[in-house]
């Protein structure tokens, strides 16, 4: 019989990052990885090492810092990818290489242009080579949902013989229904038995990713691949929080199955990922949406007040969500601030605490009320901060009225020297970006821009996320800005993207990764 503990394989940093607009810099990825470890995730797929030097660097640094979760890198079934994956995860105490090749007729014919025999040969060679870097090898049949089960048996048998320890069956395009996925896993489990762990990776194109994942558990799947907030390509992946809480809430169905997830960290993890990516869960998102524990109907409100379980099957406090979101104000002291951070699940060193407290006091002077989500946003900004190669000192805007000529003036500090300049633009934002480019000596192309309010109220913090390509360098980098002033937050986000670009470029130069061709 398979084990009763379900392995939770989180791919937020790989598949989740492939959500449009969800790219993260290295420091942000490290903080998410550390939080995933705190959450109790068994396997963290930290990225696709061969995708770019930046991805390689991020995986390598995560592998150096995460001690308790297994660190995994994705790799195509080609030697170059596998070598990059193996080198990127080398520092990790627990490591895995995840290699894949498509097995569906449509992919083999039109994408790979390979025969079934060639696919089996390539898959076997990939697993054999991956075993030279570590013992834990996962193999995926890409587009398994549209693959012939008989052919997948041939492929899986071959890769087990080569040393694969986990076999992943992804519904890559979200095509299958729950009973179909369950039937596929049941047949494959009958063939594979205990020779390897069966895994599922379901996409949400038909809104069935979580349902499909759960349906496979009773058929023998013992690893589920998922992401925080259901992030992922197109319509996203199976949501980790929904899977874990479904298993826990419906023990009448799933017992004795369980996970190693610390559910108290679900909401803090969701908020951290949302703050860093700039992608908020939809308000009615299960478990972590803003309305997940909100009741407007008078009948519902009356019932919950009389007995919580009348209309709530999950206690909000179980997932780390405090009912009282109003925190403190400008008269709150450092000790109270530190205590509130602990309640929210944050542990900061003295330097981070001091700097976050300064940000908090500044915000408290600007806002009437400071909420938990304001605190989370401030802390996320502090702990994911990259070196300030360029620092925004002042920003002044003028002639912003319709018919006027938008003008922006900035003072930027670089290597101890302050430089002030001004520029006009087609709009206020355009003027801001142009003058920053001029002062910093770069050429940035804005690829994406998003602004949202962190909390409610006219004085709410504005969180700005930008995606910028500097000096025609690909891929573009992300920048984040946080302020009660939207244009200040915008300028900070743009300079943040520039600092990220400069830091990545210098890090790669220092490590000599360009020469490796990674």
Separation of CA 381 from chain center: 16
Query: Residues, the chain, total?
Result: 518
Tokens of 325: 């979101």
Which residue reads 């109907």 in tokens?
297
Q: Judge whether 179 is annotated as a binding position.
A: no
Q: Looking at the DSSP assignment, which residues form a beta bridge with residue 224? A: 8, 200
What is the bridge-based pairing of β-strands 477-483 and 43-47? unpaired
CA dist 338 and 104 (Å) reads 53
Which residue reads 């925080």 in tokens?
228
Comparing C-alpha atoms, which of 481, 484, 480, 479 is closest to residue 461? 484
CA dist 135 and 162 (Å) reads 11
HEC profile of 315-370: CHHHHCCCCCCEEECCCCCHHHHHHHHHHCCCCCCHHHHHHHHHHHHHHHHHCCCE
CA dist 451 and 414 (Å) reads 27
- Confirm if 144 and 108 have CB atoms less than 8 A apart: no
Comparing C-alpha atoms, which of 128, 123, 13, 114 is closest to residue 76? 123
63 CB-contact burial (10 Å; exposed 0-12 / middle 13-18 / buried 19+): buried
- Confirm if 23 and 375 have CB atoms less than 8 A apart: no
- Confirm if 481 and 492 have CB atoms less than 8 A apart: yes
Q: What are phi and psi of 502, to 5 degrees?
A: -65, -40
Q: Judge whether 414 is annotated as a binding position.
A: no
CA dist 161 and 125 (Å) reads 11
- Confirm if 7 and 42 have CB atoms less than 8 A apart: yes
Collapsed DSSP state (helix, strand, coil) of residue 103: coil
Collapsed DSSP state (helix, strand, coil) of residue 512: coil
Q: What is the dihedral of CA 38, 10, 68, 126, to 10 degrees?
A: -170
CA dist 259 and 45 (Å) reads 18
**Distances, alpha carbon 40 to alpha carbons 69, 199, 327, in Å:** 7, 18, 27
Q: Judge whether 459 is annotated as a binding position.
A: no
- Confirm if 246 and 274 have CB atoms less than 8 A apart: no
CA dist 270 and 463 (Å) reads 16
Q: Judge whether 15 is annotated as a binding position.
A: yes
Q: Residues at the annotated binding site?
A: 15, 201, 203, 237
Q: Residues at the annotated binding site for Mn(2+)?
A: 15, 201, 203, 237
């Amino acid at each position: 019989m398979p084990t009763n503990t379900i392995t939770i394989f989180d791919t937020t940093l790989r598949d989740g990052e492939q959500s449009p607009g969800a790219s993260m810099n290295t420091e942000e990825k490290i903080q998410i990885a550390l939080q995933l470890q705190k959450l109790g995730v068994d396997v963290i797929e930290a990225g696709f090492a061969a995708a770019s030097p930046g991805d390689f660097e991020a995986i390598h640094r995560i592998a150096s810092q995460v001690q308790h979760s297994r660190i995994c890198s994705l790799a195509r079934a080609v030697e170059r990818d596998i070598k990059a994956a193996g080198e990127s995860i080398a520092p990790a105490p627990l490591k895995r290489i995840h290699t894949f090749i498509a097995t569906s007729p449509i992919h083999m014919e039109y994408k790979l242009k390979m025969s079934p025999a060639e696919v089996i040969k390539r898959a076997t060679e990939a697993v054999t080579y991956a075993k030279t870097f570590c013992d834990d090898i996962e193999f995926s049949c890409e587009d398994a949902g549209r693959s012939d089960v008989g052919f997948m048996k041939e492929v899986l048998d071959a890769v087990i013989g080569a040393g694969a320890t986990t076999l992943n069956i992804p519904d890559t395009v979200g095509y299958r229904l729950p009973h179909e996925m369950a039937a596929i896993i049941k047949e494959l489990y009958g063939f594979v038995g205990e020779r390897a762990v069966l895994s599922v990776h379901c996409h949400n194109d038909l809104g069935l990713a979580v349902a499909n994942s759960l349906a496979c558990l009773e058929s023998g799947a013992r690893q589920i691949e998922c992401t925080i907030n259901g992030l992922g390509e197109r319509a996203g992946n199976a949501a980790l929080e929904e899977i874990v809480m479904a298993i826990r809430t419906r023990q009448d169905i799933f017992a004795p199955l369980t996970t190693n997830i610390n559910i108290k960290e679900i909401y803090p993890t969701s908020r951290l990922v949302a703050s860093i990516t700039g992608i908020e869960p939809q308000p009615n998102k299960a478990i972590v949406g803003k309305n997940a524990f909100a009741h407007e109907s008078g009948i519902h409100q009356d019932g919950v007040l009389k007995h919580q379980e009348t209309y709530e099957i999950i206690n909000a406090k179980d997932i780390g969500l405090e009912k009282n979101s109003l925190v403190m104000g400008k008269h709150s002291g450092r000790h109270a601030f530190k205590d509130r951070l602990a309640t929210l699940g944050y542990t900061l060193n003295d330097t981070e605490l001091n700097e976050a407290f300064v940000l908090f006091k500044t915000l408290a002077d600007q806002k009437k009320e400071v909420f938990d989500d304001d605190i989370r946003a401030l802390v996320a900004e502090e702990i994911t901060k990259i070196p300030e190669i360029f620092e925004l000192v002042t920003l002044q805007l003028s002639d912003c009225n319709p018919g006027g000529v938008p003008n922006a003036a900035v003072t930027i500090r670089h290597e101890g020297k302050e430089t002030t300049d001004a520029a006009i633009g087609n709009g206020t934002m355009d003027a801001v970006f142009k003058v920053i480019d001029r002062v910093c000596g770069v050429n940035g192309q804005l690829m994406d821009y998003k602004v949202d309010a962190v909390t409610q109220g006219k004085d709410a913090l504005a969180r700005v996320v930008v995606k910028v390509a500097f000096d025609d360098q690909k891929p573009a980098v992300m920048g984040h800005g946080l302020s009660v002033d939207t244009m200040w937050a915008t300028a900070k986000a743009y300079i943040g993207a520039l600092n990220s670009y400069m830091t990545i470029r210098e890090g790669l130069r220092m490590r000599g990764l360009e020469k490796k061709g990674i």
